[in-house]
Amino acid sequence: MTEFKNTERELHFFRLRLSVVGAFVFICFAILLTRFVWLQVVRYGDYVAQAEDNRISVVPVVPNRGLILDRNGVVLARNFSAYTLEITPSKLAVPLEQVIDELSVLVEIQPKDRKRFKRLQEEAKNFESVPIRTRLTDAEVARFSAQRFRFPGVEIQARLFRQYPLGETAAHVVGYIGRISQRDLQRIENMEDASNYAGTDHIGKEGLEKKYEEILHGKTGYEEVEVTAGGRAVRTLARGGATPGHNLILSLDIELQKIVEQAFGDRRGALVAIDPATGDVLAYVSKPTFDPNLFVEGIDQQSWDELNTSLDKPLLNRPLIGTYPPGSTYKPYMALAALELGKRTPSQAIADPGYFWFGNHKFRDDKVGGHGMVDMYKSIVQSCNTYYYVLGSDLGVDAIHDFMKPFGFGQLTGIDLDNERTGVLPSTAWKRAAYRKPEQQRWYAGETISLGIGQGYNTFTPLQMAHAIANLANNGVVMKPHLVKAIEDPVSKERKPTVAAESYRINLKQENIDVVKKALAGVPVEGTGSRAFANAGYASAGKTGTAQAIGIKKNEKYNASKMAEFHRDHSLYVAYAPADQPRIALAVIVENAGFGAAAAAPIARLAIDYYLLGKRPVDPAAAAAEKTVVVGADAHGHVEGD
Amino acid sequence: MGYTEKRALWPVIKRYFAVFDVSLTLIVFMILAVSTVTMVSAGMGFPGRMEDHVRNILLSFLLMWIAALIPPQTLMRLAVPIYLAGVALLVGVALIGIIKLGARRWINVGVVIQPSEIMKIAMPLMLAWWFQKREGSIQWQEFAVAGLLLIVPVALIIRQPDLGTGTLVMAAGFYVIFLAGLSWKVMAGLAVAGAAFMPVAWHMLHDYQRHRIMTLIDPTTDPLGKGFHIIQSMIAIGSGGITGKGWMKGTQGHLQFIPERTTDFIFAVFSEEFGLIGNSILLLLYLLLIGRGLLIAANAPTLFSRLLAGALSLMFFTYAFVNMGMVSGILPVVGVPLPFMSYGGTAFVTLGLGVGILMSIHRHRKLMQS
């Protein structure tokens, strides 16, 4: 009986507990239902919006980058389509190294590809895709596509690549594009329409590619696609097309450019040739040069080290950034200043003993015993230093400065490239500003003497020298030099010329100009340039120059032979032709090559031969060398002028 | 002749199939129907998943049938051997187990099995057996022993580490102890002790487990990592609205935003396509399943069968609540499938056995009346 009662009580007890549990179950389910109501009714709108955001992704359609062509339509920069293998690190299911190892079975991946990937990955955001291999072969594409399911976060992309078919030719003008870095991102943010760069992963880094970035880039389009969580597009819902970037038509004549580059051979230097009437830059040479194709997909470490540490500084844009004393090429302008300021007449002559005493310092001429009686014509044709020592002293530094400034010396030419250097056109005011110590701030009269022959504080860029000689050739009408002649719409083929009207006119008397021009025309005939321009078949005008090399610091560690070479003088030549109706004006500098007549003038000759006559040397380097006068390095260690 | 054979066959079939409890079978059948419909949508892009799912369902029914045929007395005899075998296997796992995805959960005994799964049934069996043996004189010592019987395998499972299964086994055992009449005072004491133990437990958790709990508190702290799953499944549920987007029309599911969409997160796929109405129906089906189970427990003749039936019914509840809770973002993400919905052979075996045992208890309620 107690047993039964006990069981009965136990059953009652159990059922009570069961009811408690049942109530608990009920409450828990009620909580779930409340949760569902909260998600599906109260916050329904938010979640629908988020689901739509998830589903639809606006994919930017990157426009084709504009081409770069020379004045005759030769392509200097173009695009071609190829496949890349790209990894999005944030979407990987397994460690990156493992993925790359597995990929390398299907697609060739070299150690340098891995290194480059690592560097690009450091710069990229985590959710961006970074290329591990570019320019896949069709077989590689097929092999990967078959195995794609094994690699979430790895995709093959068809992309346009930038290519510079002429390689090293005019590399400093064209520049190159490269992958957008953190620094470029700031540049993009400062642009008017930063969203235009959504989807773009390359940007102009140097040269015209950088300067004309916004024109070359074009307008980014969009595509609305339905995407999976893995980011794979399922189908396209809507699209708005991209507008391709505009083409740049350059003023360069790439044949002329090639001839000059070859004429330099292994030597360092620069040449800028300008059409004086328009400001068109016809050739813009900086030697040695480099292959811009190396930079597009990220340069490998070895190539970079080679370029960056080479004593020849191939990456240096010499016409724009290299500054050199003009040497004797400065003399024609000095002569013109003397005429304009009434300090000399053309026939007024001095007796040259071969030196000029100033205080207790003897300024030497390079011709021992002097040039005898020297008038203005002879001073230019024979490049007499004594004549200009005296003249410099008579004019004074500030008068020289004021006269030279409008020619563009020590001024920005305003060419369409970034980072142009001003160089130094000295004046008393300049010296006060440039130095800190009071005794250095003072201008000493003795310092004016060497200015007369283009030495001293004077340093100008080859571009400025070419610009100045073009201004003289153009009788003082200043045209701003430019590399881009026209901008072409790739669709309508409509060309918009960029040519600026004349900048200003230098106030000069034509008769004075004619005196100087006559002397310049004498140089290639009976003067210092006669050897290089023998049997030219056209009348040209020019002026040789030799400038002291000041580039190497004493304490820099170079080997002895290299050291000696870098201390040799620079060889310069400025010229225009034909002498009466100039169509080309140019400045050449060959670094550490000695006399202007020796190395620079032959290169000028080849350039003008081609431009005026269409003459094309079989081997420009040999042709230039043939005309080059071999001069010993020690023959003119301290000599100024030619 | 064929006629007589047919007549002779039918009662045989009827007798064998009579072991199926009509209401339980009907409820499970309806949940499976919902599951199959959802699986068609969720299984897109998983070749062969539907076939496997149907195979799992048939396997589940087979085991259900077998379990239903076994009388509770037999089950009681089997309780201790099964339990001991389970514990032995767990020890084996700890010593020579197979490591997959950083967890040591499997062991090779001819075939590779996961012993922690066995404990889901073995634990309530064992504890129900234990209390049955002590019936009439259940003192605190009996509860202490029961606690020990429970804590040893649970500790082994959690150490694997497998917090999800450990919690489920713990819950299954605790239900038995609770239904056996653990005093409210002790329960309150355990709750206080548990709360005090929390900081210690936090330190004992693995990093990924802590991460899961942190992610639950604020999924946005890790929107691309662990939080991504919760956020995306909440978006799926929420964007389903009241009526749902319609069958095969869920963008979250079809565009692969829902992780594990045929297994643990299948509820998100279902909810996106069938909305609040679908959810309510599914909740009701689970409520009916659990309710039916509890009713069987209430009418069961012996303490063993009462405790067993109650614990198994509540096991369904734990599965369903934890799964839907985690998918809708109110519980941490642990590997718990939704009963009779999620794809997966192991779960179907356990669930089929569970329902089969309930049926057996129900069928034998009068036979065992003492």
More confident residue, A358 or B305: B305
Which of A121-125, A425-429, B202-206, B303-307 has the least mean pLDDT? A121-125
Q: Do A168 and A260 fall within a single domain?
A: no
pLDDT-derived band at A632, boundaries 50, 70, 90: very low
Residue with tokens 């956020």: B231
State the average pLDDT over residues A169-180: 92
A residues 59..118 contacting B (CB < 8 A): 90
Which of A53-62, A447-456, A567-576, B307-316 has the least mean pLDDT? A53-62
| Cβ atoms of residues B116 and B90 within 8 Å | yes
Q: Shortest CA distance to A154 belongs to which of A172, A139, A140, A165? A: A140
Q: Which pLDDT value is given to residue A5?
A: 62
Cα dist. A585→A145, A463, A611 in Å? 57, 11, 11
- Domain of residue A167, residue span: 60-250
Instruction: Determine the 3-state secondary structure of A223 from DSSP.
Output: strand
Q: Which pLDDT value is given to residue A96?
A: 83
**Chain B residues touching residue A50 (CB < 8 angstroms):** 235, 238-239
* CATH code for the domain of A484: 3.40.710.10
Cross-chain Cβ contact B330/A31 below 8 Å: yes
Which of A622-636, B206-220, B252-266 has the least mean pLDDT? A622-636
As a whole-number percent, the residues of chain A with pLDDT over 70 amount to 92
Residue A464: is its pLDDT beyond 60? yes
Q: Shortest CA distance to A575 belongs to which of A453, A485, A466? A: A466
pLDDT-derived band at B67, boundaries 50, 70, 90: very high
Nearest to B257 among A6, A28, A229 (CB): A229
| Cβ atoms of residues A409 and A459 within 8 Å | no
State the average pLDDT over residues B278-296: 96
**Neighbour-count burial of A104, counting CB atoms closer than 10 A to its CB (0-12 exposed, 13-18 middle, 19+ buried):** middle
Beta bridge partners of A593: none
Residue B195: is its pLDDT beyond 90? no
Judged by a CB distance cut-off of 8 A, whether residue B309 touches chain A is no
State the average pLDDT over residues A531-559: 75
**Chain B residues touching residue A13 (CB < 8 angstroms):** 181
Q: Do A232 and A360 fall within a single domain?
A: no
Strands (E), B130-233: none
pLDDT-derived band at A554, boundaries 50, 70, 90: very low
Q: Is residue A26 part of a domain?
A: no
Tally of CB atoms within 10 A around B138: 17
Q: How many CA atoms lie within 13 A of A221 on its CB side?
A: 13
**Chain B residues touching residue A28 (CB < 8 angstroms):** 317, 321
Q: Is residue A80 part of a domain?
A: yes
Q: Which pLDDT value is given to residue A127?
A: 61
Angle between helix axes A397-404 and A331-340 (nearest 10 degrees) is 100
A352 marked as part of a ligand binding site: yes
State the average pLDDT over residues A286-303: 88
Strands (E), A306-371: 350-352, 355-358, 361-364
User: Which tokens is B71 given?
Assistant: 């009388």
Out of A228, A250, A272, a domain closes at A250
User: Would you mind telling me the total number of residues written for chain A in this entry?
Assistant: 642
Report the C-alpha dihedral over residues B155, B161, B163, B166, rounded to 10 degrees.
-40
Q: Which pLDDT value is given to residue A324?
A: 92
User: CA-based Rg of chain A, rounded to a whole angstrom?
Assistant: 35
Dihedral sign of CA atoms A379, A385, A387, A391 in order: positive
pLDDT per position as a tens digit, A208-263: 999 999 999 998 888 777 777 766 677 777 777 788 999 999 999 999 999 999 99
Pairing mode of beta strands A221-227, A56-61: antiparallel
Pairing mode of beta strands A247-250, A68-69: parallel
Q: Which pLDDT value is given to residue A630?
A: 46
Q: Do A267 and A189 fall within a single domain?
A: no
Pairing mode of beta strands B103-109, A176-179: unpaired
Buried b (16+ CB within 10 A) or exposed e, B192-214: eeeeeeeeeeeeeeeeebebbee
Residue B2: is its pLDDT beyond 70? no
Distance from the Cα of B64 to chain A's closest Cα (Å) equals 24
State the average pLDDT over residues B273-288: 96
Element (H, E) at B90: helix B72-96
Q: Which of A345-359, B24-38, B328-342 has the highest mean pLDDT?
A: B24-38
**Chain A residues touching residue B321 (CB < 8 angstroms):** 25, 28-29, 32
Quote the CA–CA distance of B84 and B64 in Å, as a whole number. 23
As a whole-number percent, the residues of chain B with pLDDT over 70 amount to 92
Residue A128: is its pLDDT beyond 90? no
Residue with tokens 């396509």: B273
Tell me the pLDDT of chain B averaged across its residues.
87
Q: Is residue A597 part of a domain?
A: yes
Q: Which pLDDT value is given to residue A638?
A: 34
User: Which tokens is B233 given?
Assistant: 């499944």
Beta bridge partners of A159: A82
| Catalytic residue ranges of A | 328
Domain count, chain A: 2
| Cβ atoms of residues A155 and A86 within 8 Å | yes
State the average pLDDT over residues A344-348: 92
Q: Is residue A575 part of a domain?
A: yes
Judged by a CB distance cut-off of 8 A, whether residue B368 touches chain A is no
Q: Do A102 and A118 fall within a single domain?
A: yes
Q: Shortest CA distance to A482 belongs to which of A76, A71, A66? A: A71
Q: Do A244 and A278 fall within a single domain?
A: no
Q: Which pLDDT value is given to residue B236?
A: 93
Residue A134: is its pLDDT beyond 90? no
Cross-chain Cβ contact B255/A229 below 8 Å: yes
User: Which tokens is B352 given?
Assistant: 């089929």
Q: Shortest CA distance to B194 belongs to which of B186, B205, B183? A: B186
Judged by a CB distance cut-off of 8 A, whether residue B101 touches chain A is no
Q: Is residue A270 part of a domain?
A: yes
Which of A318-332, A340-354, A513-527, B193-207 has the least mean pLDDT? B193-207
Nearest to A43 among B238, B291, B321 (CB): B238
Q: Do A221 and A267 fall within a single domain?
A: no
- Looking at this predicted complex, what is its ipTM? 0.92
State the average pLDDT over residues B268-296: 96
Quote the CA–CA distance of B235 and B220 in Å, as a whole number. 13
Tally of CB atoms within 10 A around A81: 9
Q: Is residue A311 part of a domain?
A: no
Substitution target from B137, B174, B255, B288 for chain A, most A beta carbons within 10 A: B255
Substitution target from B44, B235, B286 for chain A, most A beta carbons within 10 A: B235
Angle between helix axes B345-363 and B22-42 (nearest 10 degrees) is 170
pTM: predicted TM-score of the whole model, two decimal places: 0.64
Distance from the Cα of B315 to chain A's closest Cα (Å) equals 11
Q: Is residue A477 part of a domain?
A: yes
pLDDT per position as a tens digit, B7-17: 677 887 787 77
Judged by a CB distance cut-off of 8 A, whether residue B82 touches chain A is no
A28 marked as part of a ligand binding site: no
Quote the CA–CA distance of B260 and B262 in Å, as a whole number. 6
Q: Do A84 and A125 fall within a single domain?
A: yes
**Chain A residues touching residue B242 (CB < 8 angstroms):** 40-41, 44
pLDDT-derived band at A173, boundaries 50, 70, 90: very high
**Phi, psi angles (nearest 5°) of residue B100:** -130, 135
State the average pLDDT over residues A362-368: 81
Residue A124: is its pLDDT beyond 90? no
- Report whether the peptide linkage leading into residue A578 is cis, meaning its omega lies within 30 degrees of zero: yes
Residue with tokens 């015993």: A369
**Phi, psi angles (nearest 5°) of residue B8:** -75, -30
Judged by a CB distance cut-off of 8 A, whether residue B330 touches chain A is yes
Tell me the pLDDT of chain A averaged across its residues.
86
CA angle B360, B362, B367 (to 5 degrees): 85
Dihedral sign of CA atoms B311, B316, B319, B320 in order: negative
Q: Shortest CA distance to A529 belongs to which of A471, A469, A595? A: A595
Q: Do A132 and A261 fall within a single domain?
A: no
Q: Do A183 and A277 fall within a single domain?
A: no
More confident residue, B15 or A169: A169
**Chain A residues touching residue B135 (CB < 8 angstroms):** 10
Q: Which pLDDT value is given to residue A611?
A: 94
* CATH code for the domain of A181: 3.90.1310.10
Q: Which pLDDT value is given to residue A126?
A: 58
Q: Which pLDDT value is given to residue B229?
A: 80
pLDDT-derived band at A637, boundaries 50, 70, 90: very low
Helices within A128-198 (DSSP H only)? 138-147, 171-174, 182-189
Q: Shortest CA distance to A413 belongs to which of A509, A289, A517, A281? A: A281
Q: Do A282 and A167 fall within a single domain?
A: no
Q: Which pLDDT value is given to residue A513?
A: 95
User: Which tokens is B216 given?
Assistant: 């639950």
Q: Which pLDDT value is given to residue A641?
A: 42
Pairing mode of beta strands A233-240, B111-113: unpaired
Nearest to B276 among A37, A51, A228 (CB): A37
A365 marked as part of a ligand binding site: yes
Q: Do A151 and A128 fall within a single domain?
A: yes
Q: Do A150 and A278 fall within a single domain?
A: no
Residue with tokens 């009408």: A477
State the average pLDDT over residues A299-317: 87
User: Would you mind telling me the total number of residues written for chain B in this entry?
Assistant: 370
Q: Is residue A628 part of a domain?
A: no
